[in-house]
Chains A and B, each alone.
Chain A
Amino acid sequence: MGESHEELAPAVQPGVEPSATTERSHPSAFLEVKDLKIHFPTDDGLVRAVDGLSFTLDRGRTLGIVGESGSGKSVTSLGILGLHKGGNARISGQVWLDGDELVSATPEFVRRLRGAKMAMIFQDPLSSMHPYYTIGAQIIEAYRIHNDVSKQVARKRAIDLLGRVGIPDPAHRVDDYPHQFSGGMRQRAMIAMALSCDPQLLIADEPTTALDVTVQAQILDLIQDLQGEFGSAVIVITHDLGVVAELADDLVVMYAGKVVEQGSAEDLFYRPEHPYTWGLLSSMPRLDQEQQERLRPIPGSPPSLINVPSGCAFHPRCQYCELTGGRSVNEVPQLLPTAPGHLVACHLDPTTRRRIWTEEVAAR
């Protein structure tokens, strides 16, 4: 502590790329995150907020990142945007966005992409908008950094965007302050701001958490409509499986900074193989069953990221832990394919997993 490192990420000169960054598993993908690690050294120890995350995402597709609080999902999104806080974060791995590698790029290079090519919708629109500037001023500001236009043109654009996201009477509301908007309207304005420069990658971090249920559905519909219109790639970060069920094509389930299961939304909803994913699904209310049972919460709480449990981080909360004969306690499970495009990090053998899911969990 005490040292003032502005950026601890290795300051690689553009053009002088380390050999490791030239290897891409999916060179055609619009966004490829490869073995992303974001660690924060603290006085109490090293916090492994994200510990080896890989995924790819194409334009027009939606990826859901699911997990409890503290599972590293928000840090992931901030890491992609180069916004991981504190300056002392240690970030490694690769983030390829449309052919540019961002982890080793200069902060200035990433800044120019932020807001333009990749934009973010934040969780709490009240605290995420500046209380002292009007909605319009904030959208205009976002637009004018990346587009050399006059204030009048930017203002027209802001009004147009507010209308597009469903703000009534946008020509007048553009001069309102955030506190004069309702929660749902603020989130719409936030989306308008994120969309101001037609981003090709849109990251929505818990976009509906602060909203009430009826507004949630409207916001999700809006994101989906706009994605269809702009053809952007979207990452939705949430703890709410209901949100991703509606939006996502692919899912990543994170636990304690690591991916525990990854695959298509269909795989994860109908053929989940990780006990943690089962837990998430069982703790979600369902309308497709006649008899509504009690929800089954996952016992315990997420681990501290400083003292991650040995072996499989989920083992203290996992009721199938004994079935692995102690491997879960001693050995970190690898994320391995169980079916094409479906990856699971669990020591249970695949047949046992599928049997437990169909006979025990899904049968409930």
Chain B
Amino acid sequence: MLTFLIRRLIGAVLMLLIVSLVTFGVFFLVPKIAGQTTDQLATQYVGRDPSPAAVQAVKVKLGLDDPLVVQYGRFIKGIVAGADYQFGPEKEHCPAPCFGYSFKNHQPVWPLLLDRMPVTMSLAAGAAVIWLLSGVGIGVISALRRGSILDRVSMTVALAGVSLPIFFTGLVMQGLFKYHWRIFDNLHYVSITDNPFSWAKNLVLPWISLAFLYAAGYARLTRAGMLETMNEDYIRTARAKGLPERTVVLRHGLRAALTPIVTIFGLDVGLLLGGAVLTETVFSLPGIGRFAIDAVEQSDLPEVLGVTMFAAFFIVVANLIVDVLYAVIDPRVRL
């Protein structure tokens, strides 16, 4: 178990390095291949009204003419040890972990990301609870009442849920609850530490919209898994023991059907923590996803690079957790 953990941790670090390499390559190598000069590249770092002198200065300061390997090394060094950026008289320090420095906002990227994190986490956590409970619940009931009206209706709704994009359901929800019935007026993010009730109230619509999308998939997955496990021999054994049907379904059936669901749940949450771009945009939530979009729109390369690494980090961590959880859930898996 310990050796497995160490092995996986090393693997995770390596994976992050590879991700950083690829992202770095995309942002620095591809423009080069496409024929963009380092001058043009430097212009993007300068901010408003770039003067040729400023561009030249940035180019030298950032070492944009250095070989890519050197530039990449500097990027990694920044993450580990922090970095300093000298602009004439003023010296900007970007403390470790330095995931880049936004020259447009004159701020290191890392604290900006940390600021946005609670929003994305609130969104992901609430939605995850809703979709897990409702999706699994509906899936189990559908499987047990296979072919019934309830099964057909919920599976049709689930199909709709999987197919409808969040910018549709989200806008319809807002149209109905916010503008038509005015139940949720004037939505804006409130920190949970400031006012938990207001926090929840402001997040209900995005939670439900996001959860609808995922719950649909989970319902279908649970239903399929339950239909399979309920035909297993050990379910028959459980019945032969004289267990009440409820125990048979929950303790024996669902327990076994839950394994793939836990796996996917971990990965989904990991992915969401890297930013729910569409949901945050539709509901104007200042989370990681919104940050990513803004960074792309402003062509703020350090920010884009930083947020990409940030999202990759969550996915790698989620993968690690899922692998460990797998061994906890299924005793046949030995680590």
Contact = CB atoms under 8 A, between A and B. Distances in A.
Q: Do the two chains bind?
A: yes
Interface of A: 1-4, 78, 81, 83, 85, 111-116, 119-120, 122, 124, 127-132, 134, 141-142, 145-146, 177, 179, 193
B332 A141 contact: no
A145 to B, nearest CB: 5
A113 B242 contact: yes
A193 B241 contact: yes
Contacts of B329: 132
Contacts of A113: 242
Interface in B234-251: 234, 236-244
B49 interface: no
Contact of B147 (A1, A81, A85, A112): A1
Contact of B236 (A111, A112, A128, A145): A128
A129 B330 CA distance: 14
B330 A120 contact: no
Contacts of A146: 242
Contacts of A85: 236
Contacts of B330: 131-132
Nearest to A117: B242
B233 A124 contact: yes
8 nearest interchain CB pairs?
A115-B242, A114-B242, A127-B233, A115-B241, A142-B241, A130-B234, A128-B233, A120-B240
Chain B interface residue bracket vs A: 20 to 34
Contact of A81 (B148, B238, B240, B256): B240
A83 B147 contact: no
Interface of B: 145-148, 232-234, 236-244, 252, 255-256, 329-332
A179 B241 CA distance: 20
A132 B233 contact: no
B241 A114 contact: yes
Contacts, number: 76
A82 to B, nearest CB: 9
Contact of B239 (A1, A114, A127, A177): A114
Contact of A141 (B146, B233, B241): B241
A4 B331 CA distance: 35
A78 B236 CA distance: 9
Given A177-B331, A177-B332, A132 B256 contact: yes
Nearest to B243: A145
B145 A4 contact: yes
A128 B329 CA distance: 19
Given A129-B237, A132-B331, A111 B244 contact: yes
B242 A122 contact: no
A310 to B, nearest CB: 33
Nearest to B239: A83
Contacts of B331: 131-132, 134, 177, 179
A115 B234 contact: no
19 contacts: A2-B147, A4-B146, A4-B147, A4-B148, A78-B236, A111-B244, A114-B241, A116-B242, A122-B240, A127-B232, A127-B234, A128-B234, A129-B237, A130-B234, A130-B237, A131-B234, A132-B256, A141-B243, A177-B331
Nearest to B147: A2
Given A81-B240, A134-B331, 9 more contacts: A111-B243, A112-B242, A115-B241, A115-B243, A130-B237, A131-B332, A142-B242, A145-B244, A193-B241
B256 A130 contact: yes
A165 B330 CA distance: 27
A42 to B, nearest CB: 14
Identify which of B233, B236, B242, B252 gathers the most chain A CB atoms within 10 Å of its CB. B242
A151 B332 CA distance: 24
Contacts of A129: 234, 237
Nearest to B329: A132
Contacts of B243: 111, 115, 141, 145
Nearest to B240: A120
Given A4-B146, A177-B332, A130 B238 contact: yes
B318 to A, nearest CB: 23
A122 B233 contact: yes
